[in-house]
């Protein structure tokens, strides 16, 4: 199919915005890009997802490679939840195909709205422990936090909650064509004691692996338009740098507000799709 | 030994980061070249070949990063999480095989 330069430029710009927000919040740009490409540009749902998955992989790789993101990644937590998400996706792909997408959209809209409210209710609560003699435990972590200018520690609590959310994230990701990051990052932050930046970086690593598990299928089925995906990926490479730059400087409270706003927007989008 | 939990994984961490950086860089170069050819001659097979090569490299990068994670846990002698990472790889391969056989 022939795409004029103007279309390629628009997709590149959309990729940049998705990459910026994705890198900032660790959720991958799919939740913004899929509706935009589908509704805004008239691409079919699988083709929009195919392009989106490529941008998620690019965002993930950029964030996980840069020192700013890499130091915040909790590799043990990432692998544990990745396993849960992978099993969830596998179960979803095998069994729940019969569920009406309308119903899933509605459930997803409700869940994201609920998480947005939880996020807002915890704006001033912090998960970081300033006493560096505290043992972070096997699943905890430590990092240098610029906001307070010191090394901080966190412990992972309520691991079963994180595992359940990851399985659920894996389930919906295959069915709705979005990454599980939008559920995992807020859940890790609100329930499991993981600071938002660490949750975002850990999720960034995971969404790349999750997307790499489904992208080859879209690719093999011919649902990945090479020029559009290429343009979106280039946009992401620029946008994610901007996202990392903001992420290092923005206050955590501001990031939480942004996350809540994104969740509310996503919730509204999926709610209206059920009407 | 409080630092052990987090820092024992860091020696190969840099290798993992380098892998991601090079994966993205090489795929970006292919994509830029491919898009340049595409904009001069849309639908040209060389443009498609370059773009597809870039996208394939992009998809392979996170999977290779998992292999580095296996090495990181081996180096830290953390067998539980080494097994976890191997299980992640196994689930990933199962998903790909199942999907490839989908009608």
Tens digit of pLDDT at every position of chain A (275 positions): 567 788 889 999 999 998 998 888 888 777 778 877 877 788 887 788 888 889 999 999 998 888 877 888 888 999 999 999 888 887 876 665 566 767 777 877 887 888 888 888 878 777 778 777 777 777 888 887 777 777 888 888 888 988 998 888 887 776 666 667 778 888 888 888 898 888 988 998 988 888 888 888 888 888 888 999 999 999 999 999 998 888 878 888 888 898 889 889 888 888 887 77
Please tell me the predicted confidence (pLDDT) of residue A128: 79
pLDDT bracket for residue B3 (50, 70, 90): very low
Given a contact cutoff of 8 angstroms between Cβ atoms, the answer to whether A243 and A19 are in contact is yes
Exposure string over B50-73, b if 16+ CB within 10 A, otherwise e: bbbbbbebbbebbbebbebbbebb
pLDDT at B1 over 60: no
Residue of B21, B24, B91 with shortest CB distance to A83? B91
Model confidence at B50, pLDDT cuts 50, 70, 90, reads very high
Nearest to B22 by CA among B34, B12, B14: B14
| Between residues A86 and B53, the one the model is more confident about | B53
Exposed (0-12), middle (13-18) or buried (19+): which is A153, by Cβ within 10 Å? buried
Going from the C-alpha of A156 to that of each of A64, A188, B99, the distances in angstroms are 20, 8, 34
Which positions in chain B touch A79 (Cβ < 8 Å)?
Answer: 69, 81, 84-85, 88
Alpha-carbon distance B71 to A197, whole Å? Answer: 25
Three-state SS at A24 = helix
pLDDT at B74 over 70: yes
Q: Quote the pLDDT of residue A237.
A: 93
The span from the first CA to the last CA of chain A, in angstroms, equals 32
Return the pLDDT at B99.
74
At B14 the pLDDT is: 82
Using the Cβ of A182 and the Cβ atoms of chain B, whether some distance falls under 8 Å is answered with no
Whether B5 sits inside 8 A of A226 (CB atoms) is no
In DSSP terms, which residues pair with A153 in a beta bridge?
A129, A142
Kindly report the number of other CB atoms within 10 A of residue A145's CB atom: 18
Angle, vertex CA B56, rays to CA B35 and CA B84, nearest 5: 145
Contact assignment for B59 to A212 by CB distance below 8 Å: yes
| pLDDT at position B83 | 94
Query: HEC string of chain B?
Result: CCCHHHHCCCCCHHHHHHHHHHHHHHHHHHHHHHHHHHHHCCCCHHHHHHHHHHHHHHHHHHHHHHHHHHHHHHHCCCHHHHHHHHHHHHHHHHHHHHHHCCC
Q: What is the helix, strand, coil percentage profile of chain A, to 5?
A: 75, 5, 25
A178 close to B (CB below 8 A): no
Q: What are phi and psi of A143, to 5 degrees?
A: -155, 165
Kindly tell me if the per-residue pLDDT of B6 is higher than 50.
no
| Cβ separation B58–A58 shorter than 8 A | yes
First vs last C-alpha separation in chain B: 53
Q: Is A208 within 8 Å of A236 (Cβ atoms)?
A: no
- Tell me what pLDDT residue A33 has: 83
What average pLDDT does the segment B65-84 reach? 90
Residues paired with residue A154 on neighbouring β-strands, in sequence order: A141
Cβ–Cβ under 8 Å, residues A55 and A15: yes
Nearest-Cα distance to chain B for A252, in Å, is: 23
Measured between CB atoms, does A5 come within 8 Å of chain B? yes
Neighbours of B80 (CB within 10 A): 10
């Amino acid at each position: 199919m022939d795409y004029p330069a103007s279309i390629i430029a628009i997709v590149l710009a959309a990729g940049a915005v998705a990459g910026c927000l994705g890198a900032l919040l660790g959720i991958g740009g799919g939740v913004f890009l899929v509706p935009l490409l589908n509704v805004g540009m008239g691409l079919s749902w699988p083709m929009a997802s195919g392009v989106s998955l490529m941008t998620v992989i690019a965002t993930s790789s950029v964030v996980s490679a840069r020192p700013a993101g890499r130091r915040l990644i909790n590799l043990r937590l990432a692998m544990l939840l990745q396993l849960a998400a992978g099993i969830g996706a596998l179960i979803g792909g095998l069994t729940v195909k019969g569920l009406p997408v309308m119903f899933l959209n509605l459930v997803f809209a409700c869940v994201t709205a609920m998480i947005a409210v939880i996020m807002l209710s915890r704006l001033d609560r912090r998960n970081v422990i300033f006493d560096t003699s505290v043992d972070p435990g096997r699943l905890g972590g430590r990092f240098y936090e610029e906001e307070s200018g010191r090394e901080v520690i966190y412990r992972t609590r309520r691991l079963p909650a994180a595992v359940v959310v990851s399985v659920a994230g894996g389930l919906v990701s295959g069915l709705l064509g979005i990454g599980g990051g939008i559920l995992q990052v807020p859940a890790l932050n609100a329930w499991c004691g993981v600071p938002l930046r660490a949750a975002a970086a850990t999720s960034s690593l995971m969404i790349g692996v999750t997307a790499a598990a489904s992208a080859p299928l879209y690719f093999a089925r011919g649902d990945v338009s090479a020029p559009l995906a290429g343009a979106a990926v280039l946009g992401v490479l620029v946008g994610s740098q901007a996202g990392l730059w903001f992420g290092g400087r923005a206050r955590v409270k501001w990031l939480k507000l942004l996350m809540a706003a994104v969740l509310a927007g996503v919730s509204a989008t999926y709610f209206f799709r059920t009407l | 030994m409080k630092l052990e939990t987090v820092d024992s994984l860091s020696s190969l961490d840099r290798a993992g980061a380098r892998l991601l950086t090079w994966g993205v860089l090489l795929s970006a170069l292919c994509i830029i070249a491919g898009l340049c050819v595409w904009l001069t001659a849309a639908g040209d097979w060389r443009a498609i070949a370059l773009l597809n090569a870039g996208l394939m490299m992009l998809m392979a990068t996170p999977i290779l990063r998992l292999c580095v994670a296996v090495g990181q846990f081996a180096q830290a002698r953390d067998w539980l999480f080494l097994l976890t990472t191997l299980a992640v790889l196994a689930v990933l391969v199962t998903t790909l095989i199942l999907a490839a056989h989908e009608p």
